[in-house]
Chain A
Amino acid sequence: MNVFKALALCAGLGGLLLSAAYAEGLQGKVIGFSQIGSESGWRAAETSVTKQVAAELGIDLKFADAQQKQENQIKAIRGFIAQGVDAILVAPVVATGWEEVLTEAKEAGIPVVLLDRGIEGPEDLYLTSVASDQVKEGRVAGEWLVGAVGDKQCNVVELQGTVGSSPAINRKQGFEEAIAGKANLTIIRSQTGDFTRSKGKEVMEGFIKAEDGGKNICAVYAHNDDMAVGAIQAIKDAGLKPGSDILVVSIDAVPDIFAAMVAGEANATVELTPNMAGPAFEALDAYLNNGTVPPKFIITESKLYTPADDPQGEYERRKGLGY
């Protein structure tokens, strides 16, 4: 079982690596990685992908789990500096308070790469930051829907993330940008599902009742896959077919949404890639070996997955990553 898992994992990672252009440049390099902790399934996946990518590249990865505390991250970074590592990856838990420790790293000549979150402070404190573009994620989801419905009249209901959180704001904005100007697409209802399955289900139940038993809804757009999974159950409970009676599009690309795609119950998801380390290592490789300074902000790809993209395979590939 474990062997299969490991095999699936390696196969998955092969696919996740965007480029085969890694030189042997990072072979044997020591890189410290200060991770926030394991607050969500996605973060666990990011940790395991980072470790796997590092192993493939022959990097000696020093991993430090900060358990959601900035002081632990600062301690870890100081530890890395003392050990004289070649580079440091940080997924910063908060945006402020990094000037001092990052200046120490800078003075020691150790490049720092930020993963998936930014910090406030002078940009010269870090080499580059790798992150996804949340507005783009929403836009990709919206563009898919625009293409999928064509000229048909389509009423969309939206399941928002936690009120006021940046993914909720940005993913909403991106989606609205994509459907702006399309008269046949309207968001008729929008409520928060708090990024959870149970709230997603409850909110969708309410929407279905309020929109003529769901007959008035043509598509649901969820800010994350978990809410979409809940919504799918609500649609089924109402006697409708998710995926055909009501289209389902969401963001994140967690394993369970691929399981739903296999069952024909979800139509599209936009990946928030857990492979932030891949582009980071690439940039470090170029910097350490050739002195090439990377752009300050590296944006990861927001890839769209539909049932045409081997959902069964994607499910197997992601299952072992810790989502």
Chain B
Amino acid sequence: MTRQTVDLRPSTEPPLPRPRPLASLVTRPQVIALAAVLFVNWLLFPGFFTVTWQDGRLFGSLIDVLNRGAPVAILAIGMTMVIATKGVDLSVGAVMAISGAVAAVMVTSGYPAWLAVLAALGAGLVCGLWNGILVTLLEIQPIIATLVLMVAGRGLAQLITEGYIVTFSDPVLIFIGTGSFLGFPMPVVIAFTLMLLATLIVRRTALGLLIEAVGINRSAARFAGLSSGALLLIVYTFAGFCAAVSGLIVAGDIRGADANNAGLWLELDAILAVVIGGTSLMGGRFSIPMAVLGAMIIQAMNTGILISGFSPEFNLVVKSAVIIVILVLQSPLSARLFRRLPGKSQ
């Protein structure tokens, strides 16, 4: 019985670094969904794929999707790991607000930008560690443990900014939000780098396997000799770090820390991105690149709605309709149906 549950096999769907035929990648529901959303965007607005070079950077709707999707993508990287351990982190939106507030208040009080960035990232790490401690040491359920910081965190951010929108003109912070590297917006570069590093670390080391083991059965993993507590601490702290990076980007983008609105409800978008990416909320199997893809699907949809010219009353309805279609495509039922299609049988 116990033997059965201690299932330490690696995920049945091997992640990025392993060589994989291109065909299996393009038939993934996420890739099909993204292609479909982009196609609809193109139908609504024929100039959607036009990317031009302007003022030393790429310019176009497609770049907007990448750029605007980056903050949620970064959140999703951390969130994937948390969800893989059968947890959830509701506080990431509030941590974004804290990180932005810390950075903005520090540069406006005259501290150098590098120190402000370090302090903001540090604040994110501390917030993540706090969540981790509540989950591991006090054994509070993750949804409640992180709900605490979700509520209190925004208040903290408001305390830091004293309720103002703290605007700054520091070139380094603004560069993080709106600069460009090799023509790509900085947020995209940061998100891509973080995704690559995180994927390499979890897949080239045993870390990914251990996270999956804890997610599938925490006690079993502990009996197998894993220090699951330490692992959870690391995972939640990493999620806090990702949220802080995201918060810096959002603050840099509008050149100000808006404690009331920065990252508001983005934790839900991040969870959605992870779920669209095929990671189960029951823990276990996970994929970081697919979660990032999920964030891009969400953003492609948002950008599509903006350029479509629908009246804003439709936004949420359209968004949820598309999400339902994607989730149905991914459901076990449709997976079974797909498998029965001729030519796809094993």
A-side residues, CB < 8 A to B, are: 38, 40-41, 44, 160, 163, 189-192, 194, 196-198, 201-203, 205-207, 209-210, 213, 226, 229-230, 233, 237-239, 256, 322-323
Cα(A236)–Cα(B250), bound, Å: 17
Q: A191 contacts B312, CB within 8 Å? A: yes
Q: Does B303 contact A (CB under 8 A)?
A: yes
Q: Tell me the residues in window 270-315 of chain B with beta carbons closer than 8 Å to chain A beta carbons.
A: 302-303, 306-307, 309, 311-313, 315
Task: Beyond the given A194-B261, A207-B306, A322-B163, please list 5 additional residue pairs across the A-B interface where CB-CB is below 8 A.
Answer: A41-B165, A191-B312, A198-B250, A213-B59, A233-B254
Query: Is B254 touching A209 in the complex (CB atoms < 8 A)?
Result: no
Cβ of A209 and Cβ of B64 under 8 Å apart? yes
B-chain residues with CB within 8 Å of residue A205 when the two chains form the complex: 64, 68
List, in ascending order, chain B residues with CB within 8 A of A192's CB: 312, 315
- Bound CA–CA A202/B67 (angstroms): 10
B236-256 vs A: 1/0 string, CB under 8 Å?
A: 000000000000001001111
CB pair B165 A209 closer than 8 Å: no
Partner of B178, one of A191, A213, A237: A237
Contacts of A256 in B (CB 8 A): 165, 167
In the complex, the 5 A-B pairs of residues with the closest C-beta atoms, listed nearest first: A206-B306, A192-B312, A210-B307, A197-B254, A196-B261
Determine if B306 and A203 form an interchain contact, defined as CB atoms under 8 angstroms apart. Answer: yes
On whether the beta carbons of A40 and B260 are closer than 8 Å, the reply is yes
B255 touches A233 (CB 8 A): yes
List residues of chain A with CB within 8 A of the CB of B261: 194, 196-198
Q: Closest Cβ of chain A: how far from B263's Cβ, in Å?
A: 9
Contact B163 A38 (CB under 8 A): yes
0/1 string, B204-243, CB within 8 A of A gives 1: 0000000000000000000000000000000000000000
Also in contact, A191 and B306, with CB within 8 A (given A198-B250, A198-B254, A198-B261): yes
Partner pick for A210 among B45, B255, B256, CB 8 A cutoff = B45
Interface set, chain B 6-62, CB cutoff 8 A to A: 45, 47, 54-55, 59-61
Give the residue among B45, B47, B165, B303 with the most A Cβ atoms within 10 A.
Answer: B165
**B111 interface contact, C-beta 8 A:** no
Total A-B Cβ pairs within 8 A: 77
Q: Which residue of A lies closest to B312 (CB)?
A: A192
Which interface class (under 10, 10 to 19, 20 to 34, 35 or more) fits B?
20 to 34
Whether the pair A41, B164 counts as a contact (CB closer than 8 A) is yes
Name the distance in Å between B94's Cβ and chain A's nearest Cβ.
16
Residues of chain A within 8 A (CB-CB) of B165 are: 41, 197, 226, 256
Q: Check B262 for interface membership: any CB of A closer than 8 A.
A: yes
B258 interfacial contact with A, CB 8 Å: yes
Could you tell me the distance in whole angstroms from the C-beta of B339 to the nearest C-beta in chain A?
Answer: 39
Cβ contacts B311-336/A at 8 Å (1 or 0 each):
11101000000000000000000000
Assuming the contacts A41-B165, A196-B258, asked whether A239 and B55 have C-beta atoms less than 8 A apart, the reply is yes
Provide 11 A-B residue pairs closer than 8 Å at the C-beta atoms, listed in order of the A residue.
A160-B312, A196-B258, A197-B254, A197-B258, A198-B250, A198-B254, A206-B61, A209-B47, A210-B47, A210-B61, A239-B54
B309 / chain A contacts, CB cutoff of 8 Å: 189, 210
Minimum CB–CB distance from B252 to chain A (whole Å) comes to 11
Q: When the two chains form their complex, are residues A190 and B167 in contact, meaning their CB atoms are under 8 A apart?
A: no
Nearest CB in chain A to that of B68: its residue: A202
CA A196 to CA B260, docked complex, whole Å: 9
Distance A44 CA – B164 CA, assembled complex (angstroms): 9
Does the CB pair B163–A44 fall under 8 Å?
Answer: yes
Taking CB atoms, residues of chain A closer than 8 Å to B258 are 196-198, 226
Let me know if B64 and A201 touch, CB within 8 A. Answer: no
The closest CB in chain A to the CB of B251 belongs to A198
Partner of B312, one of A163, A233, A323: A163
